[in-house]
Amino acid sequence: VRSRRQRLSPPAMARFKHPLTGTQVYLQVENLSCMGLCVEEFFEHALLSPGLILPELSIEIANSFILQCKAQVLYRNVVRNEDERCLVHCGIVFLDMDSKDQVQLSAIIHQSINDKLRVCASVDMDELWRFFFDSGFLYPSKYLSIEARKDEFKRTYHKLYLESPSIARHFFFQDKGKIFGHMSMLRFYSNSWLIQHHAAARSGYGLAGVSVLDEMGRFVNDVRLHPSAHMKYLICYYRRENRFPNRVFGNVARDLDDKKASSLDAFAYMRLPPEPALSDDAFQLFPARDEDLEELSRSYERLSGGLMLDALDIRFVAESDRGLSGEYAREGFKRDRQLYCLKAEGKLLAVLLLTISDLGLNLSNLTNCIHAIVLEPDLLKPGMLFSALHALRSHYLADDPPVLIFPEDYIERYELPSEKKYILWVLDSDNSDPYFESVRNTFKRSCRDEED
């Protein structure tokens, strides 16, 4: 999908130090997108050539600095203007830029296309809460689950929405101060962003929810190749009975029909039962090692063959994960992630992924939970699994973490109670073009169904 180009008024200016001559160059930007820009030179004074790397290109609007990035000249076309004078049009592609500059540029471009769309804009928090309640996103039982710690919850959201942390993105459809659509993203794994909290008002703008979904997709498409974006994968948890994500994200996986492009994995969601009776069977809990995760990978490939392990950083015991936790800490948030293997008589039965975060970072607590990935369901009895989970519960202090069990049929096998089922959808962002095609086809099918 091609990034949308805009002619700004007043026009932007591109400024850079020419890497070969060392001179400062100022050129007016003819059109600008979130992926690059086009400038114009007189033929006899042209300085740019395809392939030239510009380590520090700055963009200014009305004498105000907007952003700085690394860029490269992509093409050079010779044209003639109405006076028959030779000009050179040069396309420049952005190679990388700071995350705050990505947001700044996206806000300028996207809002110039639709003035009701907001990218990571500041928001009146009272209006945000009103929207969450009125849209039905924050329903009574969910509110009751956080009511006792609502002050902590509000502090988390104040930081997320008003302090523009690098680990979060949010998109609004807003008119005259009122919010009609919302979607947010959280970088919770080293190269994966969690899509969450998608909601739309029940009245006002019928397509507000679709608009923020499209805006999120275009933002990802614009920045996914920037190394600083860390946007290799998009993930989303949803329940089968939730029609919108099941039709949109579920159809993407079904339409692509390639589990290494987009995959679906089902989890059973449950709360830890009260302190269980001690298991009669001996087991061992160890921090996971690479050889344990290699065995997990072989088992997962046979069972699913999808992208879950890549997206959740469970292929290797990655050092890069510490850097992300440090980034959270610098932004004033809590994030920890630990991997354990559950063994009996030396045999790997399950891998347990612990994620620990601030209250409310995800409203369903899916960033503050335990993923239990079972390799040997016949050998791993519930008593042993729950004993192991209770042994790890101290990592969560006062919280009562939910448990996501994969595969979901482990629950049925042992007739265990389960609150609900979640689907984990993963998209490799290299497949952004077929993603957009699938989403368009989904809405076309929906329109035809309504007409019928």
Per residue in 30-63, pLDDT tens?
A: 999 999 999 999 999 999 999 999 999 999 999 8
Would you state the pLDDT for residue 302? 96
Say how many domains are in the chain: 3
Q: At what angle do helices 243-256 and 432-451 cross, to 10 degrees?
A: 120
Please name the helix (run of DSSP H) or strand (run of DSSP E) that holds residue 162, with its range, or none: helix 150-162
Q: Say how far apart CA 345 and CA 183 lie, in whole Å.
A: 47
Q: Residue 322 has what pLDDT? A: 80
CB atoms within 10 A of CB 387: 20
* The token pair that represents 127 in the structure block: 């209006």
CA atoms within 13 A on the CB side of 25: 21
The domain that contains 68 carries what CATH number?
2.40.10.220
Task: Among 43, 68, 97, identify where a domain stops.
Answer: 97
Same-domain check for residues 190 and 296: no
- Predicted local distance difference test score (pLDDT) of residue 452: 46
Task: Give the C-alpha distances (Å, rounded to integers) separating 334 from 3, 286, 391.
Answer: 35, 24, 22
Say how many C-beta atoms besides its own lie within 10 A of residue 65's C-beta. 10
Domain co-membership, 203 together with 316: no
Token pair of 219 as six digits: 């933002």
Whether 5 is in a domain gets the answer: no
Question: Would strands 24-32 and 36-42 be described as parallel, antiparallel, or unpaired?
Answer: antiparallel
Q: Distance of CA 366 to CAs 60, 312, 332, 369, Å?
A: 41, 12, 19, 6
Q: Does 72 share its domain with 85? A: yes
Pair (162, 280) in one structural domain = no
In terms of domains, do 81 and 134 share one? no
Same domain, 48 and 92: yes
Domain boundary pick from 67, 97, 127 = 97
Enclosing domain of residue 80: 12-97
Give the pLDDT confidence score for residue 59 in this predicted structure: 97
Same domain, 108 and 210: yes
Q: Which of 97, 128, 155 is the last residue of a domain?
A: 97
β-bridge partners, 354: 338, 370
Q: Is the peptide bond before 377 cis (omega within 30 degrees of 0)?
A: no
Task: Tell me, yes or no, whether 438 lies in a domain.
Answer: no
How many other β-carbons are positioned within 10 Å of the β-carbon of residue 398? 6
Looking at the structure, tell me whether residues 110 and 76 fall in a common domain: no
pLDDT at 419: 85
On whether residue 36 sits in a domain, the answer given is yes
Whether 281 is in a domain gets the answer yes
Query: Are 71 and 123 within one domain?
Result: no
Same domain? For 268 and 409 the reply is: yes
DSSP string across 262-319: EEEEEEEEEEPPSSPPPPSS--EEEE--HHHHHHHHHHHHHHT-SSHHHHTT-SS--T
CA 106/CA 118 separation, integer angstroms: 9
Rounded Cα–Cα distance for residues 387 and 193 (Å): 32
Same domain, residue pair 223 and 341: no
Q: Report yes or no on 382 lying in a domain.
A: yes
- Residue 272 has a pLDDT of 83
Flag whether 440 is in a domain.
Answer: no
The ranges of the chain with pLDDT < 50 are 450-452
Q: Which domain CATH number covers 341?
A: 3.40.630
CATH label of the domain that carries residue 195: 3.40.630.30
Q: What is the pLDDT of residue 364?
A: 87
Query: Do 368 and 339 reside in the same domain of the chain?
Result: yes
Look at residue 397 in the predicted model and tell me its pLDDT: 77
pLDDT at 279 (0 to 100)? 67
Q: Is residue 248 part of a domain?
A: no
Q: State the Cα angle at 100 between 332 and 105, rounded to 5°.
A: 155
Residue 86 domain-assigned?
A: yes
Give the whole-angstrom CA distance, residue 416 versus residue 212: 38
